[in-house]
Amino acid sequence: MNDVIAPLILAATGLPALFIAAWSGRGGSAHARGTGLRWALIALCAFIAAIALYFFGSHRGAAMAIGIGFAVAANVLVVSMVLHLRRGDTGAARK
């Protein structure tokens, strides 16, 4: 039972990102779809990390690798989203 709690909590943290992805992508423009895609990828990373933690969480080294991998992937996607949001609706590169 204790091996299931951490993956469930991790999966639950991906749900708000999934709802934000649906809400922000509803605008229909390319910029809104790009923002929604990045939120959906953050949620997908959380779900994949939760599944991996469920199967390999009993090994301490694997659990640490999963945590580090999730942190790196989520932060890369956050940086991507910040750069995407700085571009604005026009899609032109920021000067």
Q: What is the pLDDT of residues 18-27, one digit of tens each?
A: 999 989 878 7
Helical segments of 1-95, H only: 2-24, 30-56, 60-87
How confident is the model at residue 91, as a pLDDT?
52
Name the pLDDT band for 85 (thresholds 50, 70, 90): confident
How confident is the model at residue 27, as a pLDDT?
73
Instruction: Decide: residue 45, CB within 10 A, 0-12 exposed, 13-18 middle, 19+ buried.
Output: buried
Q: What is the pTM of this model?
A: 0.83
pLDDT higher at 92 or 54: 54
Q: List, for residues 30-82, the tens digit of each pLDDT value.
A: 888 888 999 999 999 999 999 999 999 888 899 899 999 999 999 999 999 99
